[in-house]
């Protein structure tokens, strides 16, 4: 049972991060970034391309295969005012794959920049997609708690995915304090990204190259993938004094049967690439626990972890990871599906007990962030030693920064 962290004060999870330590651009070669190794209390560093030498042969590495979409679309009103729509998650149809393939219309939940200039009416712009002239319109519906409902419609025989590829802008992190550049379309995607849906990259994966993946394979380290579509909430600062006042963002996850079987075959323990993979894998554990208590659940939406405090409530006896994962496989068998599609709002903070993740590859995160809380949950107060070491040894921070491998006690 995890210890309830709700009264943790966020001011206790801060450090001084000078602006010049925030990497505004990636290193020229992805796998030449620095790698900090925290191994049960001891700290050293190397270059990321050597990551395989620090992982155990026969172990399983799991990464997030999500792809960042060009989620910003700009419109100009007749008055000249610039309005930005920032797509967060599908509304109609709800399914990511389906919405990208829609023709003529679809709806998203999104944010609106310069909202005060767009009271009513539709915004329009003429664009060219595949040498075809398209009239694109958007109308603003109501709000749903995350953002505004944005109803898009367009002429021509093109998909919404093609429209985004033609005119959308890749949303790089706000703390980079610069505009998106053409190079970001490549450097802000992992080499294994393939499932469109994120508005932010799973940045721990940005260090991998095909050569590194091949080296991992040659070291007899297995790999697999999950999908978590990263939402804009990943940059949402904790503004409350205690983390109880911080509401986690919902993120959509997809996991295949073969991946769950693979995790079980590796003893229910994995090395996670990035905090998004951690949240997905640990969410699987609690989904399995839910199914052990309520095997009659039919709707996979009921498997969604909608209460971010789920790991810290309840008094059920401790369930091992393999038992929990097998409960998901049993449910998938009964419902004749090989894919689990659901969502999670899980928060991982000091006091959390990890069930599936035993090692973590991750970047260096912002002060007073939920991502830093996750790091502290994994390695305890040693997070301060790790961050002091990184600051004192010229590591680069945040999305385009350097990497670390964290192996807890």
* Residue 237 banded pLDDT, cuts 50, 70, 90: confident
Please tell me what DSSP assigns to residue 107. E
* 182-205 tens-digit pLDDT: 999 999 999 999 999 999 999 999
Residues 398, 318: Cα–Cα separation, whole Å? 35
pLDDT of residue 291: 96
Residue 353: pLDDT over 90: yes
Taking the CA atoms of 384, 64, 247 and 168 in sequence, report the sign of the dihedral they define.
positive
Tokens for 205, please give them.
Answer: 């994966």
Three-class SS of residue 202? coil
Q: What is the mean pLDDT of the chain?
A: 95
Residue 259: pLDDT over 70: yes
pLDDT of residue 232: 76
Q: Does pTM surpass 0.85?
A: yes
pLDDT of residue 272: 98
Phi, psi (deg, nearest 5) at residue 344 = -145, 145
Residues 291, 103: Cα–Cα separation, whole Å? 37
Domain boundaries, the chain: 10-67+186-407, 71-169
Angle of CA points 361, 268, 205, to nearest 5°: 20
Residue 316: pLDDT over 70: no
Within 10 angstroms of residue 24's Cβ, the number of other Cβ atoms is 16
Query: For 369-376, what is the mean pLDDT?
Result: 97
Residues 91, 139: Cα–Cα separation, whole Å? 14
Residues 207, 213: Cα–Cα separation, whole Å? 10
Residue 387: pLDDT over 70: yes
* Residue 4 banded pLDDT, cuts 50, 70, 90: confident
Asked whether 163 and 136 are in contact (CB, 8 A), the reply is: yes
Q: What percent of the chain has pLDDT over 70?
A: 99
Q: Residues with Cβ < 8 Å from 341, sequence gap 6 or more?
A: 95, 252, 253, 254, 300
Taking the CA atoms of 321, 322, 325 and 331 in sequence, report the sign of the dihedral they define.
negative
CATH top-level class of 10-67+186-407: alpha beta
Asked whether 125 and 136 are in contact (CB, 8 A), the reply is: yes
* 29-87 tens-digit pLDDT: 999 999 999 999 999 999 999 999 999 999 999 999 999 999 999 999 888 899 999 99
| DSSP state letters, 297-350 | ---GGGGSB--TTGGGS--PPP--HHHHHHHHHHHHHHTT-SEEEEEE-----T
């Amino acid at each position: 049972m995890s210890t309830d962290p709700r009264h943790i004060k966020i001011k206790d999870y801060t450090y001084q991060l000078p602006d010049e330590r925030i990497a505004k651009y990636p290193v020229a070669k992805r796998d030449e970034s620095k790698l900090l190794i925290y191994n049960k209390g001891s700290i050293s560093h190397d270059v990321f391309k050597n990551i395989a030498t620090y992982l155990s042969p026969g172990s399983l590495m799991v990464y997030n295969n999500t792809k960042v979409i060009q989620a910003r679309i700009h419109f100009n009103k007749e008055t000249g005012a610039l309005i930005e729509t920032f797509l967060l998650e599908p509304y109609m149809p709800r399914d990511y794959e389906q919405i990208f393939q829609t023709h003529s219309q679809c709806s998203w939940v999104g944010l609106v920049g310069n909202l005060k200039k767009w009271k009513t009416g539709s915004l329009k712009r003429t664009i060219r997609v595949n040498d075809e002239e398209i009239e694109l319109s958007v109308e603003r519906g109501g709000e749903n708690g995350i953002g505004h409902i944005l109803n898009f419609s367009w002429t021509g025989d093109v998909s919404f995915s093609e429209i985004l590829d033609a005119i959308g802008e890749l949303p790089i992190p706000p703390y980079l304090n610069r505009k998106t550049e053409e190079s970001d379309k490549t450097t802000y995607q992992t080499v294994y990204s393939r499932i469109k849906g994120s508005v932010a990259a799973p940045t721990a994966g940005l260090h991998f190259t095909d050569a590194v993946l091949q080296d991992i394979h040659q070291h007899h380290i297995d790999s697999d993938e999950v999908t978590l579509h990263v939402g804009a909430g990943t940059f949402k600062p904790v503004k409350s004094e205690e983390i109880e006042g911080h509401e986690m963002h919902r993120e959509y996850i997809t996991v295949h049967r073969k991946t769950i079987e693979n995790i079980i075959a590796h003893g229910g323990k994995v090395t996670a690439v990035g905090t998004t993979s951690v949240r997905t894998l640990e969410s699987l554990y609690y989904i399995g626990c839910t199914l052990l208590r309520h095997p009659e659940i039919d709707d996979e939406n009921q498997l969604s972890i909608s209460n971010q405090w789920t790991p810290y409530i309840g008094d059920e006896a401790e369930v091992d990871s393999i038992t929990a994962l097998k409960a998901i496989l049993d449910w998938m068998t009964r419902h004749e599906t090989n894919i689990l599609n659901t969502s999670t709002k899980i928060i991982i903070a000091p006091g959390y007990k990890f069930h599936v993740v035993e090692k973590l590859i991750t970047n260096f995160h912002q002060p007073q962030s939920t991502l830093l809380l996750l790091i502290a949950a994994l390695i305890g107060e040693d997070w301060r030693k790790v961050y002091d070491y990184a600051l004192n040894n010229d590591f680069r921070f945040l999305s385009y920064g350097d990497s670390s491998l964290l192996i807890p006690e």
